[in-house]
Structure 1
Amino acid sequence: MSSTVVVLDYGSGNLRSAVRALERAGAQVELTADHTAAEAADGLVVPGVGAFAACMTGLTAVRGHRTIGRRLAGGRPVLGICVGMQVLFERGVEHGVETEGCDEWPGVVERLQAPVVPHMGWNTVSAPGGSTLFDGIAGERFYFVHSYAVRDWTLQTNNRTRAPLVTWTEHGGDRFVSAVENGPLCATQFHPEKSGDAGAQLLRNWVQTL
């Protein structure tokens, strides 16, 4: 029986393309804002496009931040995509305005320091060894559309805590976090649903962990 995945519908765009991509990856997918269904599914996907503050407002309206926290407390998988990744961090700063995020990871989402912003188009990533998301897709390119990202990774771990696997990407001389794997919580700054065969393989890799 295929794994069940909820794509959280909280007013952010590109939901249908994410649903279709996850279905092609082998999951049984439901698009809903219902927190009960989101908590019960084998996997939860949190998409996101646009502004950090607007996404946090929409997420809070459907109790998404609580749903994410409850799932992670029980070791249940969550995948954030694009701004859906950004809101997992401590806070975002856009146009001088700070907005609190879900605070699952410490870190600040800030404007890229590159000559050309937004960062739009295909780019490579530098994934660490042992990555599950990038298994079998080394050297491939993924599709990015964003002006903001986490440029400094500061998470501290103790000897009993496995360090997150952090993937980096460079754009215009600036470096930013393009993916994180941290137990049940994973996220990508790029759009796997728009990244062709490489993105499809990444989503299959994630679905197979459910």
Structure 2
Amino acid sequence: MSIQLASVDDSLYFTAEIAFWAWWNGGGRMPDRESVWDIARSGITRRAEEVSTRHRLTATERVRAELNEALLAWKPVGGSYVRARGRCLAVTADPELVEAVAAHERSKSQQLMISWSEQRRQQQREQMSSLLLDPLRATAWWLLNNQEKATEVKEVATTFLELQGMLKPAARTESAGKLVDEFLDTKDAAIKVHFLHTLKKCFLGYDREDLATRLSALEE
């Protein structure tokens, strides 16, 4: 029989040519022959789709091989007395759809390679930045890769020291005043007024009327 088997991709199907056999394994009166074949066909199809739905359309030969493994044994169909087994003769798919799926897989592989390459470049940039700010490590790394130029290590170390001075970010000095200034740099007037009022009460609480008076200028 020729049956359509779903693939892992929605709405894309394999066409499988499957020969199957069935027999009645129960007592009493056996249903008509056509019913037994229908039950067996249903069971074979379910077993086949357990295989096909794991694969893309590009894997027709693999699906055929796995179907022969999955359908080899006699197995009961559901709760019936029908037992069935099968053999897959061929698995095909629409050539245009196969090419479309293959192109999609190639595109995903290329995107993955680009992503890996970019991650590697980012790691290299971070490693280089770290080395340039650490003359000792940078010199050791250079010497490891240029052992035949050991006589130049002093000059190289000096260069790395100079680069560190040029590239090292300037240290940021913090103070309570700077933090207050940053907090007051807000567009929300209500927050600013509330903060200044609270700060003024704090100054007055510690008998610093001079600071409270200077603060009043900011409230205007």
TM class by smaller structure:
under 0.3
Relative to the length of structure 1, the TM-score reads 0.17
Structure showing greater radius of gyration is: 2
- Larger strand fraction of residues: 1
Asked which structure has the greater RCO (Cα within 8 Å, sep 6+), the reply is: 1
Q: Which has the higher helix share?
A: 2
